[in-house]
Amino acid sequence: MSVQDQIKQTVTENDVVLYMKGTKAMPQCGFSSRVAGVLNYMGIEYQDVNVLENDEIRQGIKDYSDWPTVPQLYVKGEFVGGCDIITEMTLSGELDTLLETNGVTFDKDAAEKIREANA
């Protein structure tokens, strides 16, 4: 199976996927840590993929999405964005809407607390 096929399979078989440096339990860069922190705090179940473990995946995900950086968040197979986009979407409430539209369970109170803390 090619790297592109592996990536496609991962993002289509899991409702939420985060390609990141490190793992959701131990992020290894600030940007990955921020996105994983948001997802973890909001109680979102997601598949984490550590790009540091495989150089082919690390480059492959950039080619797959045509996005030059990691982390990359996918919801229901669709690329959502990287750290800055996820941060903006969280603070604006757009992430809540995206998750609700796609039937992804999350803690709405936690999402609201993030917005209150950053107001």
What are the phi and psi torsion angles at 104 (to 5°)?
-95, 125
Q: What is the pLDDT of residues 48-103, one digit of tens each?
A: 999 999 999 999 999 999 999 999 999 999 999 999 999 999 999 999 999 999 99
Q: Is the model's pLDDT at 119 over the cut of 90? A: no
SS3 category, 80: strand
How many domains does one find in the chain? 1
DSSP letters spanning 74-86: EETTEEEE-HHHH
Which domain does 51 fall in, by range? Answer: 3-117
**CATH value at residue 74:** 3.40.30.10
Task: Give pLDDT, residue 45.
Answer: 98
